[in-house]
Structure formats: structure tokens, C-alpha cells
Structure 1
């Protein structure tokens, strides 16, 4: 969270300084040895956060106040921005501190590594006083000071950046029930808050270097939704884009670079859950919470972080491949205007995608029409309708898949390529390949059925000598690195030597044709 950047003019002696970063973030306070040190205020504009308090060697350390700035949204009953006041240790909430939730609840007590930990006191939204004990953000005990039973609704809180915006969805609920319905949705969020944070952080880092920590982008959101097979419920990802529209313009709604905050992701998932399951859950007392709980338990938790598709499955390859997304997004936008010129938003269908490959003359003996169709349908159980709208992620992953077919021979020999990629001519013709049990993380089990004692086959094989194991691990790492490098070379060759030149040629021909038509029109008027 703390941006390790400092003004070039800051001296080694402790001094006060105001610095504005290129991102728009600002720091005002004391500096020492070119880092934030002492009293200071940091404002993260994009993250919507502010910290006021002590710093040490560039990170929050000592007493401070961290605020998550939220807008008060009508219908959600949030009347304050959530904030923490208390001890920080090396950039984390650690020690004693108080957290003031957006809905009005307050926790005062122990903290450890950014989580509630130890004894504390909890004041509910309705003012009830509870004595509580937490371990790693999970509540172990809760006892009310008034002697009355502790209800589940008393413990329903949504903290810091997890506050929901369900204004449009709550309109489907009778007004008298909206507050209760929202509380039950928040209870589902609280129940799975740790897992949801882990999932958000995991997808936020896809295609980025390991130390890169920023907000999730729509490109990464689409990957999460596809991994969880949300699109299989006849709910196009392009429609889901509108669930988190916010203040985005028509062009930004479908942009892969638009950021998605954690609270926006959660709000989006609640709406998705309602769209998918509301007909099946009509008999449930709390409809929104029931739908959301089903989505979390049936779709999100079992499937999230099992990355599919051509782009993100190889981390090293993905980091380099996403560097082409800006240029490819420009192409995507351009052909959206060609095929759907009457719409402001950037939408393309599978039919448009196939037309683009035809108009760019990219199909040949290697990349045939049928192979293109197989690449397009690689991640789908059923063949998609040609008029189905697609996101930029699906567009870009088709380009990656085509690169594997069209640029198979980027090494010295075809045989070397086949060894590196684990492909044969037959497998290239039958994309996508089925995953083996080993690739899926499964192991074959054998053992005594009567006793239930099971052992994996690996356990029954005598262990390797230590140096052999080390050598094997090194070989695996080298092969993985070599494979990722090879995949990147394929993508680079396809984009730089085939795709981008074809796009440039198409635009030149189109411009010349427009000039000819314009001259003919002018000549006809002159006659």
C-alpha cells in the first residue's frame, strides 16, 4: 500500500516536505533519508484511502489513523467512512486499535498482522456491547454484557473496503425488508471475508510481477468469472460489465484497464448471484443472501484460483504477454467500430471475430477456419452462438491460441518445438488438449480398501537421493522457463510479423478505398 517513492530534493536530515506523485497520490509530512519518516499524511487517490500518523523508514509505524473513503450511497445505510485508529507495526495494523465500520459497528481490541486477534470489545450497529475474542480475524467467542443471547445479526459487519453498493438490486425488495436483507448479505460476506480477500489478491496479481500489488482490473475480473464458469449460466461477461459501471463512460465500461475495487467485486457478485439463482431460490426468506451464499459455495470457492485459458496459466509468460494488451485493445476498438458503428460501447461478437480474421487474411493451411473455431471454443463446454458478445479477454486469448498454431516453428527444428510444448501435429489440430490427472493436481491412490489406509503411488516408490531430487527440480524449472520463453516467442512472432502488419495493411487499403469513393462522389457532383 505504501508507495516507496520520494522526492529527489529531500535531504538526509529529517524535514517536512509535500510531494505529489505521478499517480496523483500526495504525501505531506516529515522525511528522513529520502523516505517518509516521522509525522505525515498520505493520500492514495485511486485507492480512495488516507493515512494520518507516524511513519518509519517509508511505512506506517506507530500511532496512526487509516481511512477508507466511501461515498454515502442512498439505500445502503452507510453513514461514515470506515477507519482504523491505533497501533501500526511495519505497515500493518498490529497492537491495540479500534476499527469503525461503515455501518456503525465498532471493534476495540487486539490486532496482529492486519487482523483482529485477541480480546476486545465489540459495539454492534444497534448499540449492543459484546465482549469478544478473535484469532486471525475469526471470532471465537462473543458474550453480551446485557446477558441476552448474541444473535447472528449482531455480528454482521462489513469492514473497510468491503462495503456493498446494492442500491439498484435492493429496489427489487420491499422497502420495509431492505435493511434486513442487506444485513444478511453482509453476514455472508463476513463469513467468507478471508477467502474473498485472498481470491481478490490472487487475481489482482495475474499478469503482474510478484511484488506488484494494485487493484484488480476488468481483465483479471473476467478471468475470475470465467474460471468460476459464470458465463455458462447464459450470463455474458459483457452484461456483467454493466453491474459495476459506476461513473465509467461507454468506452470504459468494457475496457480491460478499468480498475475494480474489492467492494465493487463483491457488489457485482451479489448481482450475478441474483441473476443466476433467483428463480431457484424464490422460496427462501432472504432471497439476496441465499443467492449470494449459493454462488460463493457452488461457484466461487471451488473454482477460484484454478486458472484456465491461454493467457494467465503460465505466470512468467503472462507478465510479458500483457504488455501487448494496449496495442491489441486499440485493434479491438477499431474493429468494434467497423462492425458495430452505431454503438458507443466497445462490443464484438464471435462472428465479428471470425470476420476480422478473414478480412485480415490470417487464415491459411496452418491456421484454418476449423482450427480458429476450436481455439474460440477451447474454454467452453458447448459451442457458443456466433452472435454471443465477447470481452477483450476472450479476444486476446484467441490471439494467444492462434500464435501457438500459426507460429509453431519458431525454434531451429519442428522436433524441438514439439518437445518444448509437449505438442504433436495431431494435438495442434485438436485444440484444446485435455488436461491429464497430473496437470489437474490429482494423484492415483492405492492401498488397503478394508482399513481405508491409502497411499499415493509416489509414496510407494523408493525416494530419490537428495542430489537427484535437486537436479530433477532444477530440470523442471529450466524446462518451465524454456517453455514460457518459447510461448512468448510464438506470440511475439504472430503479433509482430502477422497480426499487426495485417491490421496496418487493412487500414491502408480501407483509407485508399474511402479516398477513391470520395473522389468519385465529388466527380459525379461536378458532372
Structure 2
């Protein structure tokens, strides 16, 4: 047409390249197939001699690409399959490189893959890597290696790590768990777990180690060994505080404290300035709950004459034993809230989950706030309101007894023994009718909760930034509802849709004592759960 190629035709080029397809005004334009002399072939759309929009490439070795094209290169969304290796990629491209969101498979079975962010053919950003062995990593990447925050599950060795990574190695703060064989009827999560500092893959710095037996070490570490000043709580409740050298108690090098051996210090008696040994229930403990559950209620027993203590202890243990099956179920239910699946489906209850349990069971309806309960149960001002604190089942039971006595002691104080009566009344009035019926907002929907929990560190940072010293002992930093409202104003979160009145209505849903008729009392203290819940 007018001396120019137009319509359908075939063009042969110097060097052996061939084009078959549509022409317009003398140019390759429309749908066509271009084959290079070396065997590479493109089939798709052309715009004025340039491959554009959508098409497919095939290479002599069997490799192929199908998807979006811009200026002759892969750009947009497309699928690539390698002809010489069992590798395929589906996702976004930019100027011929994997860039954006995409998934790459490294074998034909699809058992080895990466799904996530790419930058110029490099894994960079957030992504999930599943290895052929079944091991899986989910978290941040940089320059093709694990770098930043992430979780690694070694299914082959029953281990899991969640925390910071640097150049593919555990480095920074994190939690490493070793899952053990389940023992039917055990009260403990069957895992050894370390929470603390890592350096180049080793436990190094400050950290806590929770043993599957129920023992716990909190102190200094050097290259995976307890080394320095630390505190060891044995499964029978006795406590050693002092110096450790190469995993051993400094003054008793023959006494090994490791994962497989957590003895009870029964043979050690010394006046070392570094050491304190505390027997929780007194000598010769014969708890009816068995050796695995030992209640730390010595401070309550000290309120009684010595002759009455043994009977008080025994009656409390019987009361707990009557409800132990239900209490195990409740502990398991709340400890799994907001958690993704674990390798053994067992979890340690956190303080955040414990607060939810207390509110569900209406413990805060007795003129005592969550902050007050924290003070009753914890004597460490720095961590008294920490959502990260973990509770073993025995700690959970011990806390319930202390709270029961605090709430109901006036009704039973003149009736000996009375500790078990307080506990039994709490079970009947608070726990049995209300436990496991989730109230509030935070834990209502699992996936939403898992997403919210990802921001727990930032919420804790904000909470502490806006806390003010409490006016009552131990004078720890705390937040009142009025301060919470001011915080929302400072963060420019108040609007026509989210007014101060609406905030009060939200607070009332979780604490009915905030409003009395037309009056609102914002003097109540709030724990971090309120910051998270109201978000």
C-alpha cells in the first residue's frame, strides 16, 4: 500500500532472521512470529517493529517465557520455565529481570520454592522459602539471604527460631525452640526454649532457657553455654542464683545443669555470696498433684500459724486436683490465642493471653484492675506489666490461687482452712461459667489476631513512651485511660468518625466500670492489651 508492506506477509532478513505476521506502513505491526537465526523465537504482539504487550519466547534449550513484554524484554507479569534445569518462575518482571512479587520453583515436584519480593533477580524484602527437606523460612530477605526479622522451622530436626537474622545466620534477639517427643498427660509444653540474644548463630549475651521439665535458667550466655551470673529455677521450685562457668555452677563443677540433666540441688548447702536456695513448699514436699505441679504459695502459707500450714496446703492441692483437667484445657486454649501453628501444637501462655483470660472470667469486676493484679503477682517493677512474660501451667495455677485469696478472703477468713474455699469459689463464680468465651476485640478472629500480634513490639514501645509513674508502690510506669485518650490525640487518630466519645464507648465494652450513668471515669489504669485491643 503506497509502496509499503501492509497486511500479512513474510520478511527474510540478512543473517537468517525471519518474521511471519502482520505489517502496517512497512513495519512489523500486529500479531506475528519472529525467529532468530540461533533458534530463539518470539510469538506475540508487535508495535512498529518492537515486541510489545503480550507474547511468548522459546529458546533452543527448551526454555520458554509467556507473559507481558515491553520494548522487546520481559516486563510485567509472566511465567518462565528453564529448559536445562527444573526451575520455573511466575510473577512480576521489570526490564527482563524478576522484580516485584513472584514465586520460583526449584524442582519439578514443587517441594522447593520461594514466594515473595524480588529486586533485580535477587530475593530482597519479605518472602517464604520452602526447602526440599520440608524446612521453611518466613520473613525478611536481603541479597538472597535471610536478613532481618523472620521465622525458620527445621522440620527435619524439630526446631524453630523466630527473631533476627544477619546474612543468613541467627544474630540479634530471638526465640529458638527444640520440640521433644510428646508425653501423654504431661502438664508442660514438650519443648526446650531459649529466649534472648544470639551472635552468629550461638546463644550469646543475655537470655532465658525454659526446659521441657519445667526448669528455667535466666542469665548470661557465652557460645551456647551458661557463663556468667545467672538464676536457675529447678523443676521442684528451688532456686540457685550465682555464677556459672561453661554450663556448670562455678562452686560445684561436678553438678551439671544442661538440657538432659536438671537435678534439684538437694545435695548443695553453702553460704556463697552468689547463691540463694529457696524451698517453695518446705522440706519433704509430698504434693498430691505429683512432682510436675508444685504450687508457689509460701507467701500465703506464712500468714498462718506453722501448725496450720500443712493442712492449708493439702486442701488447696485437693481443690486444684478436682479441677485440673478443666484448668489444663483452659491453659491450652488461651496459650494458643494469636499463635500460628507450632510443630507440637503446644504453647507457653503469655501475660497478654493471661490478661484476656482474667477479663473473660471477670476478675476485674471486683474493684481490682489488671494493673493491680499484676502488682499482686509480680514484684519486679521493670517487667510488672510486660506482655512478653510467659507462664508455665504451675505458675498459672499459683497465680489463680493468689488472686482467689485476694478477691474472696474476707468471706472465708474466719473459716479454717480457708485458702481452698477461696479457690473453689473463684472456680464456680469466675472460671467455669466464663472461661474460653472470648470477649473484647483482639482475640476474636484468628487471622486478624495473628496480623495484629505482628505489631506487638511497636505497641509495647508506644505504651511505654506514654506511661507515667504510678502513684502507688512499686511506682512502676503505667497508663491511665485519660492518658490513653491523650495519646490518640497526639497521634492524630481522633476524627469525626473516631471521636473521644466513641473511644469511651470502646473502653466501656471491655470495662463496664468506666461509665456510671452519664459520668465516665477515665482514672482506670490500662495494660498494654488495651492499646492493642483498641487498635
Scaled to the shorter chain, the TM-score interval is: 0.3 to 0.5
TM-score normalized with structure 1 length: 0.48
Greater Rg, structure 1 or structure 2? 2
TM-score normalized with structure 2 length: 0.47
Higher helix share: 1
Higher strand share: 2
